[in-house]
């Protein structure tokens, strides 16, 4: 680092301290990071360098000396804060290979005995500390500020891979085990799709989604989030283990979720080979990783090496650089969604990034465009995080053409010309012309017909045709379409018309909760629709609900309540409901449909593993419909392990050990008397 004057250093240190604290808050408390991890690490590296140069400015409260805090603080946490028995620290990290050699040299100098490493994936989630006492899960704490964490036990018990009870040999009476709670990509994509539908801001990446979900106040909602867990650090008094790997193997044998991807290395070179191998292999994993952790394996040497204020000297993290591409920004489109929200989308000169060609990237909203200070013709950095849609993370100012212009955010709807409005507390612009903006109307039909809604055979093209012909304007119009009108459409034949009409007919049996979702009431996504349907039982009861009735339901906030009230108060809403009821749609919960199919499995707990001919969710519902219970991990109480294709070898082994019968899909069907 170039030497700078003392005065300039002091100023820069003050700035960096404030900036890093602000970014820690965005990341850990708001779960809304504004800069990338790489940028954060650069700022942190700069501050460390300056504090080393001028130790007189290295104060106790510097972000270089404490971990970012996830305690909700001023936001008002409803979790109890509990002190950590051993502080929960962070890890030193590096992006440079020679720093790994330095790490190795430091260890060699400090210890006299030979040592080995444990090489592990760095799971990109949120840290958790579990305490087991007498073989039972006693408590789960978040990292918090490193000294005390939020007690999230009531949420953690809903994560299937975390056992409430463990079994096996030599289980210490009390110990802690730390690890990461993370959200696999599949669950992340599903959650964000739901949030987008419900017009909630999608999570930026799986890590934020995981920590946001873990802090939910409603455990039932949290259960639907599909979180998973991996544990990587056993702690306690007088534990009988000599090495870290031995401790983890023991924990695995007790039924705790331990990574299957770790590897022992006998030298730093072997550890580097592990890093190089995973740099590519990690892209095939179903969850996000942001690096590799290298730990000294021998526990007595770990004790000798000890800790700095913030991290252990016996471990370090190699961070993967996010893959980036630099490409010119050609233009910006403004897309209007079914709810009227306007999203700016960048059109890029096509460029290769992580194996795919990127042509478009989301710019989110006007604030984001201003923040990036984006100009047409700029070379922009594109990155793929855990997200599917790439995002623009920065502009290469040195390549800006002299005459480059800022794109003008439209003041009117690009589709219908109505002046846009901006909700006070939201960053998005909306077209307020709900009744007659064509994109919004067509969008409502596409949503209504969707698979999770009414499941009608009407995709974008059909809706476009029907709308252009003037056949459909409000949702109930679909149920007035005649066979003759359909056959008359370009490219339609009798068969396609009949298929369409049968799907329309079938939609009359779609359960009420999906009808409610299909209506497209703003902020009422799939999950909220289910909650409302269960709570009120019918559309009439919901339409009669007051604001107080609504907000007392868990997870229904002011915004959602206002939106529901506005819908049922509007003439358009009332008219839609009246005509859809006339068309024969389900406007109340059908009590019969929720009756159990049998009580064959009553009192039995099943664990499922692997893939089946139906989805795992459907399989779980089937178990419940026959009176059974699902559990995430095997225990003495498990009646059967239902093993599908590619069932987890760990689970199979454990079932054998515990003497639990293993059945396959067809045996299960025989059991419940299903053909």
Binds ligand IVH by CB under 6 A, chosen from 37, 51, 70, 120: 120
Residue with tokens 């210490």: 172
Q: Which residue is nearest to ligand IVH (CB)?
A: 127
- Which 49-68 positions form the footprint of ligand IVH (CB under 6 A)? none
Strand, helix or coil at 319? strand
Q: Any bridge partners for residue 334, and if so which?
A: 344
Residue with tokens 């106790």: 60
Binds ligand IVH by CB under 6 A, chosen from 72, 248, 293, 577: 293
Stretch that binds ligand IVH, among 86-94, 158-166, 235-243, 505-513 (CB under 6 A): 86-94
CB 13 within 8 A of CB 6: no
Compare residues 15 and 86 and give the one whose CB is closer to ligand IVH: 86
Binds ligand IVH by CB under 6 A, chosen from 89, 341, 342, 486: 89
Binding mask 230-269 for ligand IVH (x = CB under 6 A): --xx------------------------------------
Smallest distance from the beta carbon of 582 to ligand IVH, in angstroms?
56
Smallest distance from the beta carbon of 278 to ligand IVH, in angstroms?
12
Stretch that binds ligand IVH, among 55-63, 190-198, 312-320, 526-534 (CB under 6 A): 312-320
CA distance 186 to 386: 11
Smallest distance from the beta carbon of 628 to ligand IVH, in angstroms?
35
Q: Any bridge partners for residue 350, and if so which?
A: none
Compare residues 148 and 338 and give the one whose CB is closer to ligand IVH: 148
Compare residues 122 and 522 and give the one whose CB is closer to ligand IVH: 122
CB 475 within 8 A of CB 585: no
Compare residues 232 and 512 and give the one whose CB is closer to ligand IVH: 232
Copy the structure tokens of residue 292: 């590799």
DSSP state of 68: P
Q: Which of 330, 292, 371, 333 is nearest to 120 (CA)?
A: 292
Active-site residue (options: 97, 109, 122, 310)? 122
Q: Classify the phi-psi angles of 102: left when phi > 0, otherwise alpha if psi is within -120 to 50, otherwise beta.
A: alpha
Compare residues 185 and 568 and give the one whose CB is closer to ligand IVH: 185
CA distance 536 to 523: 17
Which helix (H) or strand (E) element contains residue 395? strand 391-395
312 binds ligand IVH (CB under 6 A): yes
Pairing of strands 638-643, 662-663: parallel
Smallest distance from the beta carbon of 249 to ligand IVH, in angstroms?
15
Binds ligand IVH by CB under 6 A, chosen from 127, 329, 519, 601: 127
Smallest distance from the beta carbon of 69 to ligand IVH, in angstroms?
13
Compare residues 40 and 232 and give the one whose CB is closer to ligand IVH: 232
The angle formed by the CA atoms of residues 66, 133 and 630, to the nearest 5 degrees, is 100
Compare residues 317 and 564 and give the one whose CB is closer to ligand IVH: 317
Stretch that binds ligand IVH, among 122-130, 151-159, 489-497, 561-569 (CB under 6 A): 122-130
- List, in sequence order, every beta strand (DSSP E) within 236-288: 263-265
Binds ligand IVH by CB under 6 A, chosen from 82, 91, 361, 542: 91
Which helix (H) or strand (E) element contains residue 503? helix 494-506
Compare residues 176 and 378 and give the one whose CB is closer to ligand IVH: 176
Stretch that binds ligand IVH, among 83-91, 503-511, 537-545, 549-557 (CB under 6 A): 83-91
Smallest distance from the beta carbon of 88 to ligand IVH, in angstroms?
7
Compare residues 67 and 392 and give the one whose CB is closer to ligand IVH: 67
Compare residues 182 and 640 and give the one whose CB is closer to ligand IVH: 182
Count interface residues toward ligand IVH (CB under 6 A): 14
214 binds ligand IVH (CB under 6 A): no
- Count Cα atoms within 13 angstroms, Cβ side, for 390: 29
104 binds ligand IVH (CB under 6 A): no
Compare residues 88 and 372 and give the one whose CB is closer to ligand IVH: 88
Copy the structure tokens of residue 222: 């949290």
199 binds ligand IVH (CB under 6 A): no
In terms of residues, how long is the chain? 675
315 binds ligand IVH (CB under 6 A): yes
- Which 626-665 positions form the footprint of ligand IVH (CB under 6 A)? none
CB 282 within 8 A of CB 121: yes
CA distance 529 to 535: 10
CB 94 within 8 A of CB 317: yes
Binds ligand IVH by CB under 6 A, chosen from 90, 147, 362, 635: 90
Stretch that binds ligand IVH, among 19-27, 47-55, 309-317, 600-608 (CB under 6 A): 309-317
Binds ligand IVH by CB under 6 A, chosen from 123, 274, 430, 567: 123
Stretch that binds ligand IVH, among 31-39, 84-92, 446-454, 511-519 (CB under 6 A): 84-92
- List, in sequence order, every beta strand (DSSP E) within 281-390: 289-296, 315-319, 324-336, 341-353, 356-362, 379-383
CA distance 643 to 664: 5
Smallest distance from the beta carbon of 121 to ligand IVH, in angstroms?
6
Compare residues 106 and 359 and give the one whose CB is closer to ligand IVH: 106
637 a catalytic residue:
no
Smallest distance from the beta carbon of 314 to ligand IVH, in angstroms?
8
CB 118 within 8 A of CB 244: yes
Binding mask 142-181 for ligand IVH (x = CB under 6 A): --------------------------------------x-
Strand, helix or coil at 394? strand
- Which 598-627 positions form the footprint of ligand IVH (CB under 6 A)? none
Smallest distance from the beta carbon of 120 to ligand IVH, in angstroms?
4
Sequence-ordered list of residues with C-beta below 8 angstroms from that of 626, at least 6 positions apart, any chain: 596, 597, 598, 599, 600, 601, 672
3-state SS record for 208-247: HHHHHHHCCCCHHHHHCCCCEEEEEEEECCCCCCCEHHHH
Q: Which of 104, 604, 532 is nearest to 315 (CA)?
A: 104
For residue 392, with 0-12 CB atoms within 10 Å meaning exposed, 13-18 middle and 19 or more buried, which class applies? buried
Alpha helices for 392-456 (secondary structure H)? 438-449
- List, in sequence order, every beta strand (DSSP E) within 560-620: 605-609
- Can you give the binding site for ligand IVH, defined by CB under 6 A? 89-91, 120, 122-123, 127, 180, 232-233, 293, 312, 315, 317
Which residues are identified as catalytic? 122
């Amino acid at each position: 680092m170039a030497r700078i004057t003392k005065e300039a250093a002091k100023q820069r240190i003050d700035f960096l301290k404030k900036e890093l604290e602000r970014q820690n808050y965005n990341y850990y408390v708001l779960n809304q990071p504004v800069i990338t991890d790489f940028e954060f690490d650069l700022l942190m590296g700069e501050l460390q360098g300056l504090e080393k140069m001028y130790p007189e400015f290295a104060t106790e409260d510097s972000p270089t000396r404490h971990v970012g805090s996830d305690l909700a603080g001023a936001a008002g946490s409803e979790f109890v804060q509990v002190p950590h028995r051993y502080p929960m620290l962070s890890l030193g990290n590096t992006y440079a290979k020679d720093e790994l050699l330095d790490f190795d040299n430091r260890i060699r100098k400090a210890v006299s005995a030979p040592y080995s490493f444990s090489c592990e994936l760095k799971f990109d989630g949120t840290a958790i500390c579990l305490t087991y006492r007498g073989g039972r899960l006693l408590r789960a704490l978040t990292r918090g500020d490193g000294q005390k964490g939020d007690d999230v036990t009531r949420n953690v018990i809903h994560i299937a891979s975390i056992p409430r009870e463990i079994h096996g040999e030599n289980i210490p009476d009390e110990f802690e085990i730390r690890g990461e709670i993370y959200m696999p990509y599949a669950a992340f994509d599903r959650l964000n799709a739901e949030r987008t539908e419900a017009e909630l801001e999608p999570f930026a990446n799986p890590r934020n989604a995981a920590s946001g979900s873990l802090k939910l106040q409603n455990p039932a909602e949290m259960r639907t989030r599909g979180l998973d867990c991996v544990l990587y650090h056993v702690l306690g008094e007088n534990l009988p283990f000599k090495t870290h790997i031995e401790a983890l193997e023991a924990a695995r044998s007790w039924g705790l979720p331990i990574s299957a991807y770790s590897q022992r290395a006998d030298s730093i070179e072997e550890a580097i080979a592990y890093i190089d191998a995973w740099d590519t292999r990690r892209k095939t994993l179903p969850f996000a990783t942001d690096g590799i952790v290298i730990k000294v394996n021998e526990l007595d040497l770990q004790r000798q090496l000890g800790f700095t204020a913030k991290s252990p000297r016996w471990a370090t993290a190699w961070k993967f650089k996010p893959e980036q591409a630099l490409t010119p920004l050609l233009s910006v489109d403004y897309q209007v969604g079914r709810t009227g929200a306007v999203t700016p989308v960048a059109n890029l000169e096509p460029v290769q990034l992580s194996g795919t060609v990127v042509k478009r990237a989301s710019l989110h909203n006007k604030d984001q465009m201003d923040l990036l200070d984006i100009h047409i013709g700029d070379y922009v950095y594109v990155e793929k995080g855990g997200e599917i849609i790439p995002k623009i993370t920065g502009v290469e100012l040195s390549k800006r053409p002299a005459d480059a212009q800022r794109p003008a955010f439209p003041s009117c709807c690009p589709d219908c010309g109505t002046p846009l409005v901006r909700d006070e507390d939201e960053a998005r612009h909306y077209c307020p012309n709900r009744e007659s903006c064509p994109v919004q109307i067509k969008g409502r039909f596409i949503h209504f017909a969707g698979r999770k809604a009414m499941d009608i055979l009407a995709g974008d093209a059909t809706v476009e045709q029907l709308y252009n012909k003037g056949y459909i304007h409000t949702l109930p119009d679909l149920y007035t379409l005649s066979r003759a009108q359909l056959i008359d459409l370009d490219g339609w034949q009798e068969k396609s018309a009949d298929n369409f009409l049968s799907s329309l007919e079938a939609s009359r049996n779609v359960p009420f909760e999906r009808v409610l979702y299909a209506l497209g009431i703003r902020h009422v996504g799939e999950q909220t629709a289910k909650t409302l349907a269960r709570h009120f039982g019918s559309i009439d009861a919901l339409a009669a609900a007051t604001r107080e009735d609504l907000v007392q339901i868990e997870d229904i906030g002011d915004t959602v309540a206002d939106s529901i009230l506005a819908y049922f108060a509007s003439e358009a809403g009332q008219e839609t409901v009246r005509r859809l009821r006339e068309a024969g749609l389900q406007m109340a919960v059908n009590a019969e449909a929720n009756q159990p199919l049998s009580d064959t499995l009553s009192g039995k707990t099943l664990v499922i593993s692997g893939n089946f001919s139906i989805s795992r969710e459907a399989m779980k519902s089937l178990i419940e419909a026959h009176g059974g219970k699902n559990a995430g991990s095997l225990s003495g109480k498990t009646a059967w392990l239902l093993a599908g294709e590619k069932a987890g070898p760990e689970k199979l082994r454990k079932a054998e050990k515990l003497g639990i019968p293993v059945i396959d899909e067809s045996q299960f069907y025989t059991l419940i008397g299903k053909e």
